[in-house]
Amino acid sequence: MAGTFTTRTLDIATGATETMHDLTNACSAFLREVAHGRNGLLNVFTPDATSGLAIIETGAGSDDDLLAALRDILPADGRWRDRHGGPGHGSGHVLPALVPPHATLPVVDGELVLGTSQSVVLVNTDRDSPERQVRLSFLS
């Protein structure tokens, strides 16, 4: 049987503050529509130069801890050479080197396989861009 590839783009409103947007339910809903009980891989990708994707526990404080750590590592101040956009915007362009813009996850029997308490999240620290895109692609 030949493999199949299905893809969809999501538009995500992130607002004008740093945020982590949980994509887990959207990933699972996409797989319910397209995987039909098959095994494969889900690739999640954001084409934005100032956002990334993380697999992390949410709701217990880890999400806030990640944003705090990123503020420590990538302060939004005037030290960055990339200075287009608002003050500190250049730090956002370094973010994808630390929080990559992609994640590839196993799909077994049509369902996303994550560990206990893991979620798929879009990480956005760029206050200048309130809209993001995420591409979900299923390969079986």
| pLDDT of 87 | 65
CA nearest neighbour of 119 among 64, 71, 59: 59
Burial of 74 (0-12, 13-18, 19+ CB in 10 A): buried
Torsion angle in degrees (nearest 10) through CA of 89, 120, 136, 50:
10
| pLDDT of 7 | 98
**Which tens digits make up the pLDDT trace of 18-59?**
899 999 999 999 999 999 999 999 999 999 989 999 999 998
Token digits for 64? 């806030």
| pLDDT of 126 | 83
- 78 or 10, higher pLDDT: 10
Residue boundaries of the structural domains of the chain? 5-139
Burial 4-20 (b: 16+ CB within 10 A, else e): eeeeeebebebeeebbb
The DSSP code for 119 is E
Q: How confident is the model at residue 66 (pLDDT cuts 50, 70, 90)?
A: very high
CATH for 5-139 (2.40.50.100, 3.40.50.620, 2.60.120.460, 3.20.20.220): 2.60.120.460
| pLDDT of 64 | 92
| pLDDT of 1 | 46
CA nearest neighbour of 49 among 99, 87, 105, 7: 99
**Which tens digits make up the pLDDT trace of 89-136?**
788 888 999 999 999 999 999 999 999 999 999 999 887 788 999 999
